[in-house]
Amino acid sequence: MVSPKFWQTAGWLALALLPISWLWRLVTCIRKAITKPYRSSLPLICVGNAIVGGAGKTPTVLAIASKLIAHGKRVGLLSRGYGGRHAGPIHVDLAVHTFADVGDESILLTARAPTVVARCLPDGARLLEDSGCDVIIMDDGLQNPSVIPTISLLVVDGVIGIGNGQVIPSGPLREPWKDSLQKSHAVLLIGEDRREIKSLIGDKRLVLLGMLEPSLAALSLRNCRVLAFAGIGRPYKFHETLIKIGAKVIGFRSFADHHPYRLSELNKLVEEAVFEDAILVTTAKDATRLPVEIRASVTVVEVSLVWGDPTALSIFLDRILSF
């Protein structure tokens, strides 16, 4: 979805929608009260965020998985498979499943570690428990009361922050900020802290730092003419990445998050790129939704999470490895 502008400011529209926000919070409280949560027999790390839209959860899951695998852990990844048709629980198989089956994020996760998709997260956790894993990382789920995480990491985009600080639909928050912070054992701040998130956290939680950095292959686009398209939570972040690389962006097309691309749409983009003598580029997440016949015509710009503050990261990993 495209975030409305008033989510970043305090205005009359945000105030007018407050009664619906209160109703949202009431429904959330009722859901929590009637749900009996499941506690996994394995350490379960929840990587979540406070707002609607992209904050960098999936790159964070991949980065934590890599760290744990390097420590000899058998990591299993858990996702609800947003946008996919399978309710699960089901092991994602790249030879069989597409984004239409299990969601685009699950396709990305499976390339790093065994991944289970389950609308019912407790069922997914049980399947991973029976699959030889010794730690589970859950992509999203901070606001889901059906499982009890061993450790929760709250991911915050330093550029977006928490917007106007209101709960949807008055603002971008899924729940009050204090509730998200209280649930979390640590906070990962990605990018420059333009919204002074550190001051909102104070000394209440361990703060980790990180940056989403383009791959070495992506750096080859420097000074190249590119026509870009993206259907992610915040498409402009992809545009900023291309500018940071030094690419010459001659055009940019935004689509809704998880947009299932039609061949006709993509053919038009390919024709435009040829006409403009430009390279057609997109994100790794978007690439999972491209038809096979078009993939050779599109260059994928990959980014990964680069950790800052080694001391804080070591403390966080030690907490995980202690279980």
pLDDT in tens, 206-245: 999 999 999 999 999 999 999 999 999 889 999 999 999 9
Range of the structural domain that residue 312 is part of: 38-212+305-321
Give the whole-angstrom CA distance, residue 108 versus residue 44: 20
Is 233 flagged in the annotation as binding? no
Is 96 flagged in the annotation as binding? no
Give the whole-angstrom CA distance, residue 60 versus residue 307: 10
Instruction: Write down the pLDDT at residue 11.
Output: 86
Is 48 flagged in the annotation as binding? no
316 and 200 in a common domain: yes
Helices 310-321 & 57-70 angle (0-180, nearest 10) = 70
Is 32 flagged in the annotation as binding? no
Q: Is 109 a domain residue?
A: yes
313 and 281 in a common domain: no
Residues 6+ apart with CB under 8 A from 52: 1, 3, 168, 172, 173, 174
Q: What are phi and psi of 248, to 5 degrees?
A: -95, 100
Instruction: Write down the pLDDT at residue 108.
Output: 96
State yes or no: pLDDT of 1 exceeds 80.
no
DSSP string, 231-251: -SS-HHHHHHHHHHHT-EEEE
Q: Is 31 a domain residue?
A: no
Is 56 flagged in the annotation as binding? yes
Give the whole-angstrom CA distance, residue 114 versus residue 102: 13
The answer, yes or no, to whether the previous bond of 89 is cis (omega within 30 of 0) is yes
183 and 290 in a common domain: no
Q: What are phi and psi of 237, to 5 degrees?
A: -65, -35
User: Please, which residues bridge with residue 48 across strands?
Assistant: 154
Q: Is 286 a domain residue?
A: yes
User: pLDDT by residue (tens digit) across 70-129?
Assistant: 999 999 999 999 999 999 899 999 999 999 999 999 999 999 999 999 999 999 999 999
Please state whether the predicted TM-score (pTM) of the whole model is above 0.85: yes
Is 53 flagged in the annotation as binding? yes
Is 246 flagged in the annotation as binding? no
185 and 47 in a common domain: yes
243 and 121 in a common domain: no
Is 63 flagged in the annotation as binding? no
- Read off the CATH number of the domain in which 229 is found: 3.40.50.2300
- Read off the CATH number of the domain in which 48 is found: 3.40.50.300
Q: Is 177 a domain residue?
A: yes
Q: Is 4 a domain residue?
A: no
Q: Is 9 a domain residue?
A: no
Percentage of residues in the chain having pLDDT higher than 90 = 92
